[in-house]
Structure 1
Amino acid sequence: MKLQDWEILDALFATENITQAARRLFLSQPTLTSRIRSLEDYYGVTLIIRKQRGITFTPEGEVLARHARKMLSEQVHIEEKLSNMKQQVAGTLRVGVSNFFALNKMPKLLRLFKQKYPNVEFQVITGWSSEMYRRLLNHDVHIGFIKGDYSWKDHKELLYEEDICIASPWEFTWSTLPQLPRIDYNTDEKMWAIIDNWWYKNYKQHPNINIQVNQVETCKEMIINGLGYAILANLVVREHTDIITTPLHYPSGEAITRKTWMYYHDDSLQLNIVRAFVNFLRTIDVKAL
């Protein structure tokens, strides 16, 4: 089988849609369909079943698709090993990045790193920190940029710490906060836990949530336009001096913060590209970017 056949099976298994898989692989749908038929003829089994919307894999197809993912992973590892044997910083760095970090920090970091090492390429996966943590556990990425503390036996390095605060377009008093309009946004479970724990230790009533959005950047725009307050990390609104930020504190008086870490497996440092990137990060003030 060709490498492209493994990629086709993997893309179909991930998307369960011929159109989306073809688009992901930059193939025409007839080409992709023809390759699937050839694989079915070769193995003498039906691999996929077409539905009204998308496709589903047969048991035989699922076995082969999971094998395809394993083969692609082995291909990546052997390419990394061969590239590393050349004793140069080259190849593809695979990183998993939390959503805020991906939008506000990662583009600048990658640009600066590529200026120093022009022969590197990047594969960047974004999502919630909890998802990036799972990606790292599965060795899908070399390095994870993750908000919050997760159980981790290998290495992690603190990049920066930020205050959790009330971000408001107007002055307020703590006693009136439950009556004021609040804007909530989708985030990972650790951030939700921080917000809810603080709220219900200070108030008996539920917050007055009148707007719910998907992303913290959208939430920020709602605050800027005077539609309500939100509880978020202060770096989100750092550049907007007209937004009033009031840090949250534990009963002890200690500020409530959230840390952003760089997680990686120790054995990943055997790769020149990973070792170079980790050393590069140690020279950068990431919070100031």
Structure 2
Amino acid sequence: MDDRDWLILHTLFNEKSITKAGQVLFIAQPTLTKRLKQIETEFGVKIVNRGVKGVQFTPEGEYLAKRAEELLSTFREIREEIDNFNHYVAGTLRIGVSNFISKYKLPGWLKLFKEQYPDVECQIETGYSKHISTIAYTQDIHIGIIRGDYNWPGEKVLLFEEELCVASSEKIDLNDLPALPRIDYQTDLLYKHIADNWWAERFSQPSLIGITVDRGDTCKEMVLNGLGYAILPSLFFSKQDAVFKIPLATLDGAPITQKTWMVYHKEAEELNVVKAFVEFIKQMDTENE
């Protein structure tokens, strides 16, 4: 078996579907099925059973899939260390970013970074900040960029701080909010707690949720189309957006903000590619001050 075979087992175990695994790996389903049978023949065991609910791994297959994850991690570390023997910056950089950052910030950063370091391959994982913090801690990624003050035991660099605001397509009064339709969206629990605490300080009744969506940028479009107000980070909106914004503040007048951090383990900087990206982002942060 080669590392491609181990990748097949790992992907199939995660996807639980030959069709989906083939799509992820860009392998035709008949080719993937044939290769899986060859792996079964090589080890002399049945690896999966196929049914109406997809593939089910046998005990032997589950063991091989878990070992596949370990071996793929080892292969990846070997490649990174070999790349690191050279003094130039090359290799694979694994970054995890919050959904907001992946759309509004990361593309511009990567464009400039790749111009400086064209031999770097970037693998990006997106998700809620809690998830990104977790996979950064377990070192499934080199660097995480998260929003909110999550506990972090390693290196932590503040990238920027933004206001939270009530946003509407027309001018509104904060005192009228309980009677106005609100657009809500799924987001990180830390951000939700900030907004909920602000509301609880000011109002005794719950907000009037008229629409619930799954993403912040969808929520923004609802606001711009006059379907209600929303509580959103100010960076969702550009100067060209026709929106009325009221910054959130505590009852004593202190602004309510959200911070965005770059997090990583100190030892990750031993890799040239990680060190280069950390220094690049720090430099970007300095230039924006």
Q: TM-score range by the shorter chain?
A: over 0.9
Task: Tell me which residue corresponds to 2:106.
Answer: 106
Deviation at residue 86 of structure 1 after TM alignment: 1.0
* 1:75 aligned partner: 75
Partner of 2:3: 3
The answer to whether the Cα contact below 8 Å between 1:269 and 1:275 also exists between their aligned partners in 2 is yes
User: Following TM superposition, by how much is the alpha carbon of 1:287 offset from its aligned partner in structure 2, in angstroms?
Assistant: 10
TM-score, structure 2 normalization: 0.96
Matching residue of 1:63: 63
Q: Distance in 1 between matches of 2:39 and 2:239?
A: 54
Which residue number in structure 1 is paired with residue 223 of structure 2? Answer: 223
Change (3 A) 1:4 1:195: same
Structure 1 counterpart of 2:66, which letter?
R
Q: Is the 8 A contact 1:142 1:264 kept in 2?
A: yes
Q: Which secondary structure state, in structure 1, belongs to the residue aligned with residue 284 of structure 2?
A: coil
Post-superposition Cα deviations, 1:126-171, rounded to whole Å, max 9, x if no partner, equal 1111111111112111000100112211101000000111011122
Spell out, residue by residue over 1:56-86, the C-alpha distance to the aligned partner (whole angstroms, 9 max, x if none): 2222211111110111111111100000001
The code of the aligned residue for 2:201 comes to K
Asked if 2 retains the 8 angstrom alpha-carbon contact of 1:159 and 1:287, the reply is: no
**Which residue in 1 is equivalent to 2:40?**
40
Residue 165 (structure 2) pairs with residue 165 (structure 1):
yes
Query: In structure 1, what is the Cα distance between the partners aligned to 2:187 and 2:267?
Result: 31
> Which 5+ residue runs of structure 1 have no aligned equivalent?
none
Query: 4+ residue runs of structure 1 moved beyond 6 angstroms?
Result: none
TM-score, normalised by the number of residues in structure 1:
0.96
Instruction: Report the number of matched residues.
Output: 289
| Cα deviation digits, residues 163-184 of structure 1 (max 9, x gap) | 1110111222222101101001
Decide whether aligned partners of structure 1 residues 128 and 287 sit closer, same or farther in structure 2, where only a CA change above 3 A counts.
farther
Counterpart contact for 1:163–1:258, Cα < 8 Å: yes
Contact 1:93/1:121, CA 8 A, preserved across alignment = yes
RMSD of aligned residue pairs (Cα, Å): 1.6
Residue 227 of structure 1, CA deviation? 0.5
Q: Is there any run of 5+ residues in structure 2 with no aligned partner, and where?
A: none
Classify 1:24/1:127 alpha carbon distance in 2 versus 1 (closer, same or farther; 3 Å): same
Separation of aligned partners in 2, 1:49 and 1:130 = 35
- For 2:286 and 2:256, the matched residues in 1 are separated by 20
| Greater CA drift, 249-258 or 87-96 | 249-258
1:246 corresponding residue in structure 2: 246
Change (3 A) 1:246 1:208: same
Instruction: Report the Cα distance in structure 2 between the residues aligned to 1:119 and 1:72, rounded to whole angstroms.
Output: 22
Superposed, 1:13-52 pairs within 5 Å as: 13-52=13-52
Distance in 1 between residues matched to 2:218 and 2:121, nearest whole Å: 30
Query: Residue 134 in 1 paired to residue 134 in 2?
Result: yes
**Counterpart mapping for 1:85-104 below 5 A:** 85-104=85-104
Distance in 1, matches of 2:227 and 2:93, equals 41
Query: What SS does structure 1 have at the residue aligned with 2:283?
Result: coil
State the match for 1:232 in structure 2: 232
Amino acid at match of 2:145: F
What secondary structure sits across from 1:124 in the alignment? strand
Instruction: Name the CA distance, whole Å, in 2 between partners of 1:242 and 1:287.
Output: 28
Distance in 1 (alpha carbons) for counterparts of 2:239 and 2:60: 54
CA positional deviation for 1:251? 2.5
Q: Percent identity?
A: 45
Q: 1:191 to 1:163 in 2, by over 3 A?
A: same
Deviates more, 1:168-177 or 1:81-90: 168-177
CA separation in 2, counterparts of 1:53 and 1:193? 38
Residue 147 of structure 1 is matched in structure 2 by 147
